[in-house]
């Protein structure tokens, strides 16, 4: 029978061997955290390796994702579909074992980690989703949602500012089923961290209202006791501070940065094998070690027990059981298309001239009651972003319960966005969160991760241009629209009125594997009259809003500048110049249409002028070398919006002059 040392050393051996074979990777963390992995995965975590998507599994997140071989070794040893060949292909093209854990690539990986700090922040989202789902669905004696979120993290995660944002909220929300293990090894890439990381981490987390424990990270009994103690505290998240030796077992490289991010080398691996008593070849795991780690049978029992519980739940509460299944499978309600059709028709009938941020709120009032998994929030700007709707209640803690469905994240744009990523990956929720467009800058890496992970988050940004006026260039976005549009697998919508706003929200809600950024104005936008065909084509991202026979010029615009394009077309018509107006609320969606549709909207050989209060270079691909752009190639100024638009050339007179010059 394999001993504990054998089980832990199997992790060390696989980490050494895989990194060496790849000639790339981080062996030190897996070797130092082997006993922590053994305690958690071997003795406490509830999962079924045969079904990694079992709804009530415990969630595990490796925030210090550079140590990915720890997770891959654990997945392989416990019985997931991660083979020895997969480990041998560590960090190779299209393998199941990429350099950092990637959700959808590897069975058992819950989120993509690597950018430090975001894993622990995702974990807060996972734990929040669990707590709110349990609140919404559990019944007396029938707790169908009852699992923990476990996260490993290192010094780098704690140094990243986003961990401060998220962990403070976790304590405020009392996420008692969130348990984090800090790998306190004192080493980062530059060496010993005492020169740049001297925080009193336990006191910091106590100040956040966390339960804090400290243990020897190589003592399995102490780790087991700490996990039991952590589970017993249900009104606070727990941080278990684990003092470890990075690269434990390596005679010459342990406790130094030499084993942090580079292979140990053949000679040091041989010396390590001798030092830890591992008398087996590369990638060789004895049968008794596999038997000691295997969780397929116990995992199947856990899931079977839950299935029986859920069957009782479904018998007693059939409607709730069906709704739970729908939400966890990321499906929209059966009547969704009818809801959208009615909402768009209503917006078209009312024909309101209002700010698109208000139009966005109208969309939420139409859609949110029908899609209860929509969970809104704002980074301290609810009254400006208008993300609250008639039926929403501000989230607050009452005792050990969380009440409400609209989250005040405080001034934590990055934390909000990364928490949302965790929530949507957990399942059961479609979070949306908002701030001013300018402050998406604080959160960009979380948006990039959402797109990389193929989530379907909804990011809401208001105050979209110099149109916000007197707050000045610190708050006036210029390059942000183009930055967001350049993120692969990310839809950006900038609607021009109430109908486009309603369609943009519907399109974003319908996405399965693509996040969306919805961009709205502070100032009122004129309602656009359009026919049914044009309304249908809004979904294609760009469409003909106003057409003429044989246009001499095409005016392309988004958001608040569509009104300018329409008025410029009217002025051109008065001079006998035919101008088509194309509204392009989503360039990403338009670009994905077939060539025939795009050619019909933007035919070759016709002069083009693009108009948008953002940087101009982006639009060159649509207007060509002969076309022109009215855009922003400087920062804004502090002044009323009308004065700014005139100063920067967003006038009918300038648009007409530019169009004539292009035609000439």
Residues 74 and 100 in one domain: yes
Residues 283 and 371 in one domain: no
Q: Does residue 541 carry a pLDDT above 90?
A: yes
Q: Do 499 and 528 form a contact (C-beta atoms < 8 A)?
A: yes
Q: 114 among the known binding-site residues?
A: yes
| Residue 211 structure tokens | 């339960």
**DSSP-assigned letter for residue 619:** G
pLDDT at 566: 98
- Count how many Cα atoms sit within 13 Å of the Cα of residue 472 in the half-sphere of its side chain: 2
CA distance 243 to 240: 10
pTM of the model: 0.98
pLDDT in tens, 390-448: 989 999 999 999 999 999 999 999 999 999 999 999 999 999 999 999 999 999 999 99
601 — phi, psi (to 5°)? -80, -45
pLDDT at 111: 98
CATH number of the CATH domain containing 73? 3.40.50.970
pLDDT in tens, 543-557: 999 999 999 999 999
User: In terms of Cα–Cα distance, which of 501, 505, 602 is closest to 544?
Assistant: 602
**DSSP-assigned letter for residue 514:** -
Secondary structure of residue 595 in the 3-state scheme: helix
Work out the average pLDDT over 567-573: 98
pLDDT in tens, 499-516: 999 999 999 999 999 999
CA distance 466 to 454: 32
Work out the average pLDDT over 536-541: 98
Residue 533 lies in a domain: no
The domain in which residue 411 lies consists of 335-525
What phi-psi label fits residue 542: left (phi over 0), alpha (psi between -120 and 50 degrees) or beta? beta
168 — phi, psi (to 5°)? -65, -40
Residues 16 and 124 in one domain: yes
Beta strands in 287-436 (DSSP E): 354-355, 374-378, 396-398, 401-403, 406-408, 430-436
Q: What percent of the chain has pLDDT over 70?
A: 100
Residues in contact with 495: Cβ distance below 8 Å, sequence separation at least 6, in sequence order: 356, 359, 501, 503, 504, 518, 519, 520, 559, 585
Residues 489 and 515 in one domain: yes
Residue 489 lies in a domain: yes
Q: 439 among the known binding-site residues?
A: yes
Work out the average pLDDT over 175-194: 96
CA distance 15 to 372: 44
Residues 363 and 273 in one domain: no
Tell me the DSSP string of 24-93.
-S--HHHHHTHHHHHHHHHHT----TT-TT-TTPPEEEESSGGGHHHHHHHHHHHTSS--HHHHHTTT-T
CA distance 657 to 280: 79
Residue 174 lies in a domain: yes
375 — phi, psi (to 5°)? -125, 105
CATH number of the CATH domain containing 638? 3.40.50.920
Sign of CA dihedral 14, 18, 21, 24: negative
Q: Do 438 and 463 form a contact (C-beta atoms < 8 A)?
A: yes
pLDDT in tens, 458-474: 999 999 999 999 999 99
Q: 620 among the known binding-site residues?
A: no
Q: 260 among the known binding-site residues?
A: yes
pLDDT at 17: 98
Tell me the DSSP string of 114-170.
-STTHHHHHHHHHHHHHHHHHHHH-BTTB-S----EEEEEEHHHHHSHHHHHHHHHH
CA distance 237 to 209: 8
Q: Please tell me the total count of domains within the chain.
A: 3
Given 525, 548, 575, the domain boundary residue is 525
pLDDT at 5: 97
Q: 647 among the known binding-site residues?
A: no
pLDDT at 4: 97
**DSSP-assigned letter for residue 527:** -
Residues 111 and 53 in one domain: yes
Residues in contact with 78: Cβ distance below 8 Å, sequence separation at least 6, in sequence order: 41, 47, 49, 293, 294, 295, 296
- Average pLDDT score over the chain: 97
Q: What is the biggest distance separating any 2 CA atoms in the chain, rounded to whole angstroms?
A: 92
Q: Does residue 373 carry a pLDDT above 90?
A: yes
Residues 477 and 593 in one domain: no
Residue 313 lies in a domain: no
Q: Does residue 654 carry a pLDDT above 90?
A: yes
> In 85-112, which positions are buried (b, 16+ CB within 10 angstroms) versus exposed (e)?
ebbbbbbeeebbbbbbbbbeebbbbbbb
Q: 352 an active-site residue? A: no
Residues 14 and 152 in one domain: yes
Q: 294 among the known binding-site residues?
A: no
Given 301, 326, 357, the domain boundary residue is 301
Q: 426 among the known binding-site residues?
A: no
Q: Which residues pair with 60 in a beta bridge?
A: 150
List C-alpha distances in Å: 640 to 468, 469, 644.
8, 5, 6
CA distance 56 to 61: 15
Q: Give the angle subtended at the CA of 423 by the CAs of 422 and 427, to the nearest 5°.
A: 115
Residues 507 and 548 in one domain: no
Given 285, 301, 317, the domain boundary residue is 301
Q: 126 among the known binding-site residues?
A: no
In what helix (H) or strand (E) does residue 243 lie, and over which residues does it extend?
Answer: strand 238-243
pLDDT at 136: 98
User: In terms of Cα–Cα distance, which of 173, 60, 62, 65 is closest to 126?
Assistant: 60
Q: Does residue 625 carry a pLDDT above 90?
A: no
Tell me the DSSP string of 373-400.
TEEEEESS-HHHHT---TT--B-EEETT
Residues 262 and 361 in one domain: no
Residue 268 lies in a domain: yes
Residue 233 lies in a domain: yes
Residue 328 lies in a domain: no
Residues 515 and 588 in one domain: no
Q: Do 268 and 252 form a contact (C-beta atoms < 8 A)?
A: yes
Residue 617 lies in a domain: yes
Alpha helices in 212-295 (DSSP H): 220-232, 266-276, 287-293
Compute the chain's Rg from CA coordinates. Answer: 28
Residues 13 and 89 in one domain: yes
Q: 490 among the known binding-site residues?
A: no
Q: Do 265 and 239 form a contact (C-beta atoms < 8 A)?
A: no
What band does 289 get if pLDDT is binned at 50, 70 and 90?
very high
pLDDT in tens, 85-111: 999 999 999 999 999 999 999 999 999
Residues in contact with 339: Cβ distance below 8 Å, sequence separation at least 6, in sequence order: 333, 366, 367, 370
pLDDT in tens, 191-239: 999 999 999 999 999 999 999 999 999 999 999 999 999 999 999 999 9
Q: What percent of the chain has pLDDT over 90?
A: 99
Q: Could you say which of 160, 268, 303, 413 is catalytic?
A: 413
Q: 280 among the known binding-site residues?
A: no
Cα 529 to chain centroid distance, Å, stands at: 36
Q: 17 among the known binding-site residues?
A: no
Q: 430 among the known binding-site residues?
A: no
Q: 26 among the known binding-site residues?
A: yes
């Amino acid at each position: 029978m394999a001993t504990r040392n054998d089980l832990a050393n199997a992790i060390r051996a696989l980490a050494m061997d895989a990194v060496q074979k790849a000639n790339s990777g981080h062996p030190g963390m897996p070797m130092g955290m082997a006993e922590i992995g053994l305690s958690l995965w071997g003795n406490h975590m509830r999962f079924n390796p045969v079904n990694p998507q079992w709804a009530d599994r415990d969630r595990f997140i490796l925030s210090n994702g550079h140590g990915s071989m720890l997770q891959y070794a654990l997945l392989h040893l416990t019985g997931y579909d991660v083979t020895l060949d997969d480990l041998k292909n560590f960090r190779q093209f299209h393998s199941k074992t990429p350099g950092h854990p990637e959700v959808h690539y590897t069975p058992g990986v819950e989120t993509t980690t690597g950018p430090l700090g975001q894993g622990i922040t995702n974990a807060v989202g996972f734990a929040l989703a669990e707590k709110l789902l349990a609140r919404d669905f559990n019944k007396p004696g029938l707790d169908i949602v009852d699992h923990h979120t476990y996260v490993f993290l290192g010094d780098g995660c704690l140094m990243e500012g986003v961990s401060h944002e998220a962990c403070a909220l976790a304590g405020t929300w009392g996420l008692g089923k969130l348990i984090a293990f800090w790998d306190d090894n004192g080493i980062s890439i530059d060496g010993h961290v005492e020169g740049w990381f001297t925080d009193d981490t336990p006191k910091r987390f106590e100040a956040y209202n966390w339960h804090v424990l400290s243990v020897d990270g190589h003592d399995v009994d102490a780790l087991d006791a700490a996990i039991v103690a952590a589970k017993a505290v249900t009104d606070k998240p727990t941080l278990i501070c684990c003092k470890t030796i990075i690269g434990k077992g390596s005679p010459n490289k342990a406790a130094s940065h030499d084993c942090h991010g580079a292979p140990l080398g053949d000679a040091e691996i041989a010396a390590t094998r001798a030092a830890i008593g591992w008398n087996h070849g590369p990638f060789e795991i004895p049968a008794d070690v596999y038997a000691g780690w295997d969780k397929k049978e116990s995992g199947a029992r856990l899931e079977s027990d839950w299935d029986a519980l859920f069957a009782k739940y479904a018998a007693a509460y059939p409607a709730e059981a069906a709704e739970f299944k729908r939400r966890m499978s990321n499906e929209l309600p059966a009547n969704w298309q009818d809801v959208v059709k009615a909402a768009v028709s209503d917006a078209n009938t009312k024909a309101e001239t209002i700010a698109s941020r208000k139009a966005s709120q109208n969309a939420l009032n139409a859609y949110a009651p029908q899609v209860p998994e929509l969970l809104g929030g704002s980074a301290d700007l609810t009254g400006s972003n208008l993300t609250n709707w008639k039926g929403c209640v501000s989230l607050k803690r009452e005792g050990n319960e969380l009440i409400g469905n609209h989250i005040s994240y405080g001034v934590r744009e990055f934390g909000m966005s990364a928490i949302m990523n965790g929530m949507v990956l957990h399942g059961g929720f479609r979070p949306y969160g908002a701030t001013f467009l300018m402050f998406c800058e604080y959160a960009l890496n979380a948006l990039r991760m959402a797109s990389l992970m193929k989530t379907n988050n909804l990011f809401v940004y208001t105050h979209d241009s110099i149109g916000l006026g007197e707050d000045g260039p610190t708050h006036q976005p210029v390059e942000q629209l183009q930055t967001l549009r350049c993120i692969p697998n990310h839809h950006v919508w900038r609607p021009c009125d109430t109908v486009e706003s309603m369609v943009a929200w519907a399109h974003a809600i319908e996405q399965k594997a693509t996040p969306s950024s919805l961009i709205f104005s502070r100032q009122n936008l004129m309602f656009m009259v359009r026919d049914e065909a044009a309304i249908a084509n809004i979904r294609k991202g760009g469409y003909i809003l106003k057409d003429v026979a044989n246009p001499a010029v095409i005016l392309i615009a988004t958001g608040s500048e569509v009104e300018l394009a329409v008025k410029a077309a009217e002025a051109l018509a008065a001079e006998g110049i035919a101008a088509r107006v194309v509204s392009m609320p989503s360039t990403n969606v338009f670009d994905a249409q077939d060539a025939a549709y795009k050619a019909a909207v933007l035919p070759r050989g016709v002069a083009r002028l693009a108009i948008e209060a953002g940087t101009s270079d982006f639009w060159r691909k649509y207007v060509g070398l002969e076309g022109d752009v009215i855009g922003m190639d400087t920062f804004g100024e502090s002044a009323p919006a009308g004065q700014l638009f005139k100063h920067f050339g967003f006038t009918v007179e300038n648009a007409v002059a530019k169009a004539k010059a292009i035609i000439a």
